[in-house]
Structure 1
C-alpha cells in the first residue's frame, strides 16, 4: 500500500475512533410523579390545555367545552403535586359576550398565556383563534387561520404555544396523510404565515405544545390504540428559518401507562426543566384527569 494511502487510512480510522467515542447528548428524562385531580363540578373534565406559572405553583387549565379553570398546586418539599386548589372557573364567551356552548363553537383546545396576561385559545369545529383579556371577558376575534390539508371537525388546531416575543405557533392535529409533514403556522402582528413544517411519524398526532425556558419547542403527541387506550410521546426541537433542528424524542409511553394526555406546560423547577401534562378524560367514568410530570436534566 502506498505511504500516502496508508497515512490517509490511519487518519480516517483515528477520526472514526474519536467520533465514536464522543459523548452523546447528556439530556436525561426522569419521572417525577402523577396526581389524579378530582372534582364533583359538572363542568370538570375534558382538559386539553394547561399553563403553569414560572414557580410551578399556579395553573390555568382549559377544557374542550369552553371552561377555563385556574388556581394553585400544592407541592411537597420534593416538588410532587399533593393537591389542587381551584381559585376560579369561567365559561369562555364569544365576541358578543355570550357563553360558548359545547360543540361546534365551543370546542376549545389550545391554550397559551401572554406575558401581559392575555389568554389565547384555539378552537376546533369552527377553526379559529381568539383572545381574552381575562376569563370573564368577551372574545377578541382574529383573522381566520389558513385552510390546511387534514383540518376537519375534531382535527383542527389543537396545539398552541407562545414564544418569548409573543408570537403564536400552532399546527393541525392531522396533516391529510401519514407521510405528509404537519404545517407549522405562525401568528404575529395580526397576520398568519406558514412558518415551517414538522415531520410526521405515522399514527402520532400533535395535541399540545409549549416553548421551554431553553428555547426549544416541545410537542406532545398521542396515539390511540382502541381498547388499549392511549400512548404519548414528547419531542423537542429548535425552530429556525430553515426549519426545525436538533430534534429529539424525549419520552414515549406505552398504551395505558397514562390516560389521554393532551395538554403540556414546560417550565424550570430549579433542578431542571419540568414537563407537566394533563389528560382529557372525555367526561367518561372509566377515564381520569391526571397531572403527569417529568424532569429533564441537560
Structure 2
C-alpha cells in the first residue's frame, strides 16, 4: 500500500462515522460479516473464489498467503468462517515469496484445481498446480514492465474458454480507458478496454456462467471507501450491455477488493466480496454479499 493510500485510509477511518447510505441501482444487500482471525497472517485479503455451492472458498492475502475455508450460514446470513488449510506462496525455485515480489492480488481457481494468481510489484501472472506448489510464471510482455509499481494487476478472471483476463489498477490507454489483457494459453493480447469511471479504480474481477464480465472498483475519499460493481457481456466483437449494478457511498463498506460471482440454491445470482484491511488495526475485514439481477 502506498503512503498516499495509507493517509487516505487514516482519514477515512477518522471520518467514517458520517458514512453515506448505500446507493444500489440493481443489487440487493444480503449482509456483511465482520471476519476476525487469530492467525498471524490473517488480513490483507485481496481476492476470493467461492465454491459453486457457496459453502467454501479459497481466499488470497496480498502478503502471499492462500487459504481455504468453510462458510456457515443461517439463511442468507454468514455466521462463521473456519479455515481448513493455508499455505505461503512459493517462487519457481521453491522459495517462500515475500516483500514486493510477493504482492499477490488476483485469484482464479479452475475446475481441475489449478490456481492462477496475479501480482503487483513485479507485474506478472503465475500458475500453481496446488496451494503448496511452485510458481510457473506466464510470459511477460513489454507492456507489463512499464506499469505503475503499486497499481497493476489487482484483478484476475477466467472465462468459459479458459482465457485469463487482467487489468492494471492505475495505468490507462491513450484514450483514458482501462486496458484489459487476455492470455489465451499462448500469448497476451489486448482485446478491449473498459471505460474508466472518475474516482474509481479496478481491484477485482470475475465471470459468470453466461460469459459476463464483472469488475469491482474502489474509490477512496476522506469519508471512507466507496465500491462500484459493473458488468458487461463479452463477445468476439468486444463488449456490450454495460451495467452498473452497485455503487455505495463512502464508508458503507471497508476496502472491498475481491469479488466472486456464483448462484445459490434458490438460483439467485450472488456477488461475495472481501475487504483488505491493509493489516491496520482501525480497518476491518468483512465478507459482503449482494444478490444481483439475472
Q: Which gives a bigger RCO, structure 1 or 2 (Cα 8 Å, sep 6+)? A: 2
CA contact (8 A) 1:185 1:194 kept: yes
Say whether residues 1:246 and 2:241 are aligned partners. Answer: yes
CA contact (8 A) 1:128 1:145 kept: no
Which structure's CA Rg is the greater one?
1
The number of residues matched between the two structures is 269
Alignment of structure 1 residues 28-107 onto 2, 5 Å: 28-76=26-74, 78-101=75-98, 103-107=99-103
C-alpha RMSD of matched pairs (Å) = 1.7
Change (3 A) 1:169 1:46: same
- Match for residue 3 of structure 1? none
Task: Provide the rounded CA distance (Å) in 2 between the counterparts of 1:197 and 1:50.
Answer: 24
- Match for residue 10 of structure 2? none
Deviations for 1:92-139, whole angstroms, at most 9, x for unmatched residues?
0000111101x2100000001111110100000000111111111111
Task: Provide the rounded CA distance (Å) in 2 between the counterparts of 1:206 and 1:262.
Answer: 9
CA contact (8 A) 1:127 1:145 kept: no
SS of 2:102's equivalent in the other structure is: coil
Task: Provide the rounded CA distance (Å) in 1 between the counterparts of 2:291 and 2:80.
Answer: 19
Unpaired segments ≥5 residues, structure 2: 1-24
- Match for residue 226 of structure 2? 231
Poorly superposed stretches of 4+, deviation over 3 Å: 176-179
**TM-score w.r.t. structure 2 length?**
0.88
Task: Provide the rounded CA distance (Å) in 1 between the counterparts of 2:218 and 2:118.
Answer: 18
Alignment of structure 1 residues 206-285 onto 2, 5 Å: 206-225=202-221, 227-269=222-264, 270-285=266-281
CA contact (8 A) 1:49 1:278 kept: yes
C-alpha deviation, 1:79, in angstroms: 2.8
SS of 2:242's equivalent in the other structure is: strand
Say whether residues 1:297 and 2:287 are aligned partners. Answer: no
Task: Provide the rounded CA distance (Å) in 1 between the counterparts of 2:203 and 2:146.
Answer: 14
